[in-house]
Copies of this chain bind each other. A is one copy, B any other.
């Protein structure tokens, strides 16, 4: 592989120039900003490394995806999942340089999306180009998918994946989001949580009443609070009957992997102002809760008078936004049904539920050949044993590839906790980029040789 690694190093400046071009083109999905040009730019960059690229419209008038592919020496097919949309750059005043005018300062380059996820796109392009230039072709068939709506919850991806099942099918998938952790250990993720996002609301009056009527008129806030109170124990346990029925037991390998993860509890606690942890959890139990267990969270709640001073009002209605993070094999629509049934059977049929989003959870097995292949390639590139997380704490559309299309999924990438993704002054180092590109190249090679099964 030294020939490939040398090419990647020798052409680093050009690869970074490609990355800067991608960053200079805004593509803020939440604001639908830059999508007149961004898909074309991504397509042209995929074509520059010899792939056949096309722009895919997305169901429900969603923001387009870009898909590219090429044949290679082996019959096996590898799929790269990435996304070219980025988080909004706001608050702008906290950026030290303009978010869409990338700037190099010290050993870092700053710009929105330069790590998440345009850095991964550019690193994989560098690996592909190395194979094309040095070996005259790719080691296996390759598919490259760049989503345009990842930062707004991939709402239209499940539909697109079903529609494009044939074109997206592959033997294995490399996700975004891998790289190194704070200690410099390579980091692999094998899963993502699912999500059910709802609004719960109570409406009791046609309009706000003077609060002197609170003695005799029904109160929407009290009513919603009583309903919410039936959902969760103070220790976090969800009280909806059947909520945990489909939670898959943690395997021995998953448990061992979680035990082996570095203890970052102090960093988390400090980040949120010396916060404590629920149930005084520590160590592996804390990490298990974070990565492997579902929740019921209140994202927001509002109703009635919220201004300064006093206003005596009985609010006509009140609303709360809730998310349930789900783990295999929970399903958002099943949880929604169980929630409705629970509220009804507790006399809360007057509480309205609106579903705002649903994502299925997914995990690729720790013992799968694909997980092992990625772990071994990490040792080769980074010179250390990787840290393997059976799942991230967050949510993403991994299910659609891993379960709907049926391929093992693992991460490889350029990430590092210092990159400030989603925050002002997002950045990467050249070293992170180089290592990520080399790892992508090695994964391509080993996959071609050994496959994922």
A210 vs B325: C-alpha distance when bound (angstroms): 12
A302–B306 CA distance with the chains assembled, in angstroms: 7
Residues of B within 8 A of A318 (CB): 301
The answer to whether B228 touches A225 (Cβ under 8 A) is yes
Knowing A277-B216, A293-B215 touch, does A206 contact B272 (C-beta < 8 A)? Answer: yes
Q: Does A143 contact B (CB under 8 A)?
A: no
Once A218-B276, A289-B215, A301-B221 are accepted as A-B contacts, the answer to whether A310 and B236 lie under 8 Å apart by CB is no
Tell me, rounded to whole Å, the shortest Cβ–Cβ distance linking A66 to chain B: 24
Report the Cα distance A423→B441, complex, angstroms: 72
A313 within 8 A of B: yes
The verdict on A193 contacting chain B, using a C-beta distance below 8 Å, is yes
Residues A275 and B205 in contact in the complex (CB < 8 Å), given A228-B225, A321-B310: yes
Cβ of A236 to closest chain B Cβ, rounded Å: 7
Contact string, A216-243, partner B, CB cutoff 8 A, digits 1/0? 1111011001101100101010000000
Q: B residues within 8 A CB of A323?
A: 211, 214, 310, 312
Q: How far is the CA of A165 from the CA of B297 in the complex (A)?
A: 55
The CA-CA distance from A394 to B297 in the complex, in Å, is 37
Q: How big is chain A's contact interface, by range? A: 35 or more
B325 pairs with A215, CB closer than 8 A: yes
Known: A215-B325, A275-B204, A393-B212. A304 touches B304 (CB 8 A): no
Question: Does A311 belong to the interface (CB within 8 Å)?
Answer: yes
- Taking the closest CB of chain B, its distance from the CB of A314, in whole angstroms, is 6
Q: Which residues of A contact B (CB under 8 A)?
A: 153, 193, 195, 197, 204-207, 209-219, 221-222, 225-226, 228-229, 232, 234, 236, 268, 272-273, 275-278, 281, 286, 289-290, 293, 295, 297-306, 309-316, 318, 320-321, 323, 325, 356-357, 392-395
Q: List the number of copies, as a whole number.
A: 2
CA distance A145 to B299 in the complex (A): 50
Known contacts A229-B226, A272-B205, A216 near B301 by CB under 8 Å:
no
A226 B216 Cβ-Cβ under 8 A:
no
CB < 8 Å neighbour of A311 from B193, B290, B299, B394: B299
A213 and B297 CA atoms in complex are apart in Å by 10
Q: Which has the most chain B C-beta neighbours within 10 Å: A234, A306, A325?
A: A306
CB distance from A150 to the nearest CB of B (A): 14
Task: Report, nearest first, the 4 A-B pairs whose CB atoms are least far apart.
Answer: A206-B273, A300-B304, A214-B297, A212-B393
Say how far A381's CB is from chain B's closest CB, in angstroms.
28
Give the shortest distance, in Å, between A264 (CB) and chain B (any CB): 11
* Residue contact B290 to A314, C-beta cutoff 8 Å: no
A153 vs B310: C-alpha distance when bound (angstroms) = 9
Residues of B within 8 A of A313 (CB): 299-300
Q: Within 8 Å CB of A236, what residues of B?
A: 215
Complexed CA–CA distance, A311 and B299 (Å): 7
Whole-angstrom distance between the Cβ of A333 and the nearest chain B Cβ: 16
Which B residues are in CB contact (< 8 Å) with A193?
212
Residues in B with CB closer than 8 Å to A219 are 297-298
Q: How far is the CA of A209 from the CA of B218 in the complex (A)?
A: 34
Q: Kindly list chain B residues whose C-beta atoms are within 8 Å of the C-beta of A393.
A: 212-213, 215
Given A205-B272, A215-B278, A221-B301, list of 7 further CB < 8 A pairs?
Answer: A212-B290, A216-B281, A297-B312, A299-B305, A299-B315, A300-B303, A309-B356
Q: Which listed residue (B207, B218, B234, B302) contacts A301, Cβ 8 A?
A: B302
